[in-house]
């Protein structure tokens, strides 16, 4: 594309995770949703970097480094820790040497060790989200918790209860979730149907958030110089700080063969 590359920001103060959030006594929720083919890993990597040290070089050149900015708790149902260790090395961060980063692996051995009976999973699920293990005032990322909805008998309200409980423990919670079209159907009403559970979960989640980030493929398919679009919108719940204003915008982005990220206004 001929237009200049843009720095990505979420707020009017030109930040991704504002200091106003980290210094707040309130709890805020951001959703990151995506469709197959528009993996948000590049964005998540930069948000981890921004949480730990203030910068986010692949997507924003203006943010300054702030050593030991925040503790990060990353809970994943989709990847193991090695996946993020490898990814963050590309951002110049060695997670194996960073005591502010705690990874909770719910991908490896989830259904052999953590959840013994998927048809009666509520107690084991509640244990997964035991907030006594979470240091206060951390930034928490939870990746693909919806896996529990189509793999066990828990319903969306069971999962939401645990997520909101964790949210109250921290200033900022990011929930990263797939919203593939084949899993979303507002006409299904059987409470045990996985499609209903996913649809109900995502709908209620969006109504509880302050900020929503959506990654989608182009309607015309992937172009040579565009991978997908990224939309930033206000959630249904407002921020308590009137000076914390969401910078609602739509971008297109391209991930090159050498993993460089180019972002443009749409």
Q: List, for residues 183-203, the tens digit of each pLDDT value.
A: 777 778 778 788 899 999 999
- For residue 159, being part of any structural domain is answered with yes
Q: Whole-model pTM?
A: 0.95
Q: Which two tokens stand for residue 98?
A: 């960073």
Q: Percent of the chain, pLDDT > 70?
A: 97
Name the region of 37 (left: φ>0; alpha: ψ -120 to 50; beta: rest).
left
pLDDT of residue 36: 83
- For residue 81, being part of any structural domain is answered with yes
- For residue 175, being part of any structural domain is answered with yes
- For residue 1, being part of any structural domain is answered with no
Given pLDDT bands bounded at 50, 70 and 90, which one contains residue 225? confident
Report helix, strand or coil for 70.
coil
The parent domain of residue 234 ranges over 19-265
- For residue 213, being part of any structural domain is answered with yes
Q: Tokens 């990322």 identify what position?
A: 141
Read off the CATH number of the domain in which 114 is found. Answer: 3.40.50.300
Q: Tokens 């182009």 identify what position?
A: 218
Alpha-carbon gap, residue 44 to 25, rounded angstroms: 24
* Sign of CA pseudo-dihedral 229, 243, 169, 152: negative
Q: Does position 103 have pLDDT exceeding 60, yes or no?
A: yes
Q: Which two tokens stand for residue 165?
A: 């409980």
pLDDT of residue 1: 53
- For residue 30, being part of any structural domain is answered with yes
Angle at 232 between CA 227 and CA 238, to 5 degrees: 165
Q: Does position 223 have pLDDT exceeding 60, yes or no?
A: yes
What are 107-122's pLDDT values in tens digits?
Answer: 999 999 999 999 999 9
Query: Other C-beta atoms within 10 Å of 105: how many?
Result: 17
CB-based contacts of 104, cutoff 8 Å, min separation 6: 73, 74, 75, 76, 133
Q: Percent of the chain, pLDDT > 90?
A: 80
Strand order in the sheet with 101-105: 101-105, 72-76, 139-143, 172-178, 28-34, 211-216, 228-234, 249-255, 261-265
pLDDT of residue 136: 76
Query: Other C-beta atoms within 10 Å of 104: how many?
Result: 18
- For residue 253, being part of any structural domain is answered with yes
User: Count of domains in the chain?
Assistant: 1
Residue 61 contacts residue 79 (beta carbons within 8 Å): no
- For residue 9, being part of any structural domain is answered with no
Task: Tell me the sheet residues that pair with 265.
Answer: 251
């Amino acid at each position: 594309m001929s237009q200049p590359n843009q720095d990505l920001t979420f707020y009017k103060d030109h930040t991704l995770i504002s200091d106003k959030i980290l210094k707040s006594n309130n709890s805020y929720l951001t959703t990151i949703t995506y469709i197959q083919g528009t993996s948000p890993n590049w964005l998540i990597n930069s948000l981890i970097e921004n949480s730990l040290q203030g910068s986010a070089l692949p997507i924003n050149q203006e943010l300054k480094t702030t050593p030991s900015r925040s503790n990060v708790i990353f809970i994943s149902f989709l990847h193991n820790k090695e996946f993020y260790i490898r990814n963050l090395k590309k951002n110049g961060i060695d997670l194996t040497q960073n005591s502010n980063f705690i990874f909770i692996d719910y991908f490896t051995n989830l259904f052999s060790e953590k959840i013994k009976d998927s048809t009666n999973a509520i107690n084991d699920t509640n244990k997964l989200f035991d907030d006594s293990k979470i240091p206060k005032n951390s930034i928490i990322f939870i990746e693909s918790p919806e896996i529990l909805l189509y793999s066990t008998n828990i319903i969306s309200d069971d999962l939401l209860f645990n997520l909101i409980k964790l949210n109250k423990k921290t200033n900022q919670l990011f929930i990263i979730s797939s919203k593939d079209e084949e899993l979303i159907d507002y006409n299904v009403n059987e409470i045990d149907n996985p499609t209903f559970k996913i649809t109900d979960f995502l709908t209620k989640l969006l109504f509880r958030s302050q900020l929503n980030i959506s990654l989608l493929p182009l309607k015309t398919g992937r172009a040579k110089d565009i991978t997908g679009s990224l939309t930033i919108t206000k959630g249904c719940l407002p921020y308590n700080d009137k000076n914390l204003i969401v910078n609602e915008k739509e971008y297109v982005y391209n991930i090159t063969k050498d993993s460089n990220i180019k972002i443009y206004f749409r």
